[in-house]
Structure 1
C-alpha cells in the first residue's frame, strides 16, 4: 500500500487523478456546481430547527445556508442531517479556538479537503469573526464562482485543484503563506471516496499539514460488509430524507450515474478505523447517519477532550443513526477491539 500521495514523490499522480471518480464525474459535478441540475426543490432550512436550543448553532446554520453554492446545497440536501451536524461541529471548533486564543492570543486555521465551494469554511470564518481562517481545495473550478461570490478574501482562501496537489511548498507561496505553519483543523468532507480506497496514503498526505496538537475530521460514506444492509440504509436515506428535496426520478438518476463510481472508492467503517489508528492515538466516532459517519482524530488526547467537552448534542432522528452503539472512542481492529473502547 502506498504511504503518500504527495505529487513530489508520486510520479503516477496524474494517472491516478485522471482515473479517479473525482475527474470521471467532472461533468456531473460541473452541472451540479452551476445549478444546471439536481437543485433542491425547497429551502434547506432544517425541519428540526425547533430542536436546536443553542443560538450559536442557529447562527451557524443560517450562515451555512445563506452562503451555500449550488453543489454544496445539493450536498446538504443529499446527506441526512449533515446541515445540523456541521453546525454543531463548527460551533464547537469556534468555542475551542476562543478558549485557546484567550490563552495564547493566536488565530486558527481550517483546511477543507476538496470541500465544494468552501461553504463550511466560510461559515466558520464568519461565525468565529475571523478567529478561524479557512483554506479550501476543490478540483471543480465551477465551485470557485460561488466561493468568490460569498467569500471574505481576508478570511477564506480557495485553491482550484485536488487536495493531492496541495504541498508544503504551495503553502509557503505568498498567496497562502498564512497557512505555512500548518492547520489547527482539517476536515475531509466525503472527498477520499472519489479517488481510491487507499485511506492510509490519503491520510498520510493530509496529516503532513496538521499541527501537532491539531484535530482532523473525516466525514465519509461507507461500504457495509452486508450489501443488503447497505441498500437498506440507502433506501431509508432516499425515501425518508432526500424526497424532501428531489423527485424520485432525480434520485434514481443520481443512483445510476454517480453512486456506482463513488462506491468504488468507499471503504468499510472498520477499514477507516484501522487506517486512522495507524496515524493517530485518538480516534473518536462523532456521528452516524444512514451510510455516513463522522470521526475526529488527533495525537493530542487533551485537545480531543477539550473539543468533546464543547460539543453540543446531536440533532437528528435516531432512526437514521445506524452506528449509535459505536459512538465514542474507537480503536483499530488490529488491536482486537470491535466497538467502543479506549484510545
Structure 2
C-alpha cells in the first residue's frame, strides 16, 4: 500500500489552505468577487427539453455566492455544468442504480446536489470543501435526502475515513463517478499522487472526470486564450480592476500548480488505460477516464454536443486522450 504521508503534508502546505484561504472564504460569503450580474445560460447552446429546463431551474436556485463567481469566470462553464449534470443523470439511468458521485472541491456542491435532488435516490452524492461558508451555503436550502457535504479538503477523504466518519458510510464501498473540479491546481502540480490518492475511492470500472486549467509550452498562445477569456467573457460580469486583482492575487499562485496536457496524460496513464477529452474552453479542458472502455463510451454517449461557441474551443470533442491515437 502506497504511503501518502508526505502527500498529506504537501496538501496541508498548499496555497488552497493557506495563501488562498481568505479569497475562497470571502468569495463564498459574498463579501468579494461578486459579479455585476448573475451568470445566465445561453439556452441556444443546450439541448432544450423539459428535463434540461428543470435541471437548470433547480441549479440556479441552489447556487451560492461562490458558484455565481465561478460560473462568471470561465467561458461557458455554466452551460457545461448543465450538460455534465444531465449526462450523469442519463448515465445513472443506464447503470444499476443507485450510483454514487463524489464531487471534490466544488464550492457549495451545487451540481452534485441538483443531480441528487432530481434523481430522487438514484444518485447519492458527496461534495467537499475546506471552506465553512460553502458548507453553510450547501445547507441553506435544508438537508437534502441524497446529497451530503464534507467540511474539509479532498486529502481528508479516503476509503478509511469514509468507513469511519458518521454519515458517510453510504460511500464506504467507493464511488461510481469522481469529479475533480479545478481543485488539484490549487494545491500542487503533483498530479501523479493526487490522482493515485483520489482513485482509491473509485469503484472498479468507475469514471473519473477532471476539469483543469492547463499550462502550455507556447506562452503566447496561452496568453492569447487568457485575453480572450478576460475580455471576451469575464468582462460581462466583472470590472477590469476586479479581473486584474484576481489575476494578481489568485491566478498567479494557481498558475504555478498547472500542468501541461502531456504531463496529465503521463499521470493518467499510470492508472487508466482509456480517456477522452470531453470539453474545452480556452486553456480549460475536461477529461474523462476509466479502466472500462464500455462505461466510458456509455458516459460520452450521454453527453451530447458541447454547449460552447466554436471560437472558444481549440480541438474537436470528444477526442481520445488515452490510449494515444
Is the pair's TM-score, using the shorter chain for normalization, greater than 0.5?
yes
Q: Which runs of 5+ in 1 are unaligned?
A: none
- What is the alpha-carbon distance in structure 1 between the residues aligned to residue 54 and residue 312 of structure 2? 25
Structure 1 residue aligned with 2:283, among 273, 276, 291?
291
- What is the alpha-carbon distance in structure 1 between the residues aligned to residue 150 and residue 27 of structure 2? 19
Is the contact made by 1:121 and 1:156 (CA closer than 8 Å) also made in structure 2? yes
Give secondary structure in 1 for the equivalent of 2:18: helix
Is the contact made by 2:126 and 2:150 (CA closer than 8 Å) also made in structure 1? yes
- What is the alpha-carbon distance in structure 2 between the residues aligned to residue 23 and residue 122 of structure 1? 27
Give secondary structure in 1 for the equivalent of 2:31: coil
Structure 1 residue aligned with 2:227, among 231, 235, 241?
235
Aligned to 2:304: 312
Structure 2 residue aligned with 1:74, among 66, 69, 75?
69
Structure 2 residue aligned with 1:192, among 184, 190, 203?
184
Matched, 1:107 2:98: yes
Which stretch shifts more, 116-125 or 60-69? 60-69
| 1:52–1:13 distance in 2 versus 1, CA, 3 Å | closer
Matched, 1:144 2:135: yes
Give secondary structure in 2 for the equivalent of 1:93: helix
Aligned to 2:12: 17
Matched, 1:33 2:28: yes
Aligned to 1:216: 208
Deviations 1:6-39 (A, max 9, x none): xx74156245413434421101111100000111
Query: Aligned residues, how many?
Result: 323
| 1:234–1:120 distance in 2 versus 1, CA, 3 Å | same
**1:243-262 mapped onto 2 (5 Å cutoff):** 243-262=235-254
**1:23-172 mapped onto 2 (5 Å cutoff):** 23-46=18-41, 48-55=42-49, 56-101=51-96, 106-150=97-141, 152-172=143-163
Structural RMSD (CA): 1.7
Which stretch shifts more, 81-90 or 184-193? 81-90
- What is the alpha-carbon distance in structure 1 between the residues aligned to residue 6 and residue 276 of structure 2? 34
Which stretch shifts more, 20-29 or 135-144? 20-29
| 1:277–1:307 distance in 2 versus 1, CA, 3 Å | same
TM-score (norm 2): 0.94
- What is the alpha-carbon distance in structure 2 between the residues aligned to residue 30 and residue 178 of structure 1? 29
Quote how far apart the aligned CAs of 1:196 are: 0.8
Quote how far apart the aligned CAs of 1:230 are: 1.0
Quote how far apart the aligned CAs of 1:325 are: 4.3
Is the contact made by 2:127 and 2:149 (CA closer than 8 Å) also made in structure 1? yes
- What is the alpha-carbon distance in structure 1 between the residues aligned to residue 200 and residue 146 of structure 2? 22
Aligned to 1:207: 199
- What is the alpha-carbon distance in structure 2 between the residues aligned to residue 9 and residue 247 of structure 1? 42
Q: Which runs of 5+ in 2 are unaligned?
A: none
Give secondary structure in 1 for the equivalent of 2:44: helix
Is the contact made by 1:65 and 1:73 (CA closer than 8 Å) also made in structure 2? no
Quote how far apart the aligned CAs of 1:149 are: 0.7
TM-score (norm 1): 0.90
- What is the alpha-carbon distance in structure 2 between the residues aligned to residue 89 and residue 276 of structure 1? 21
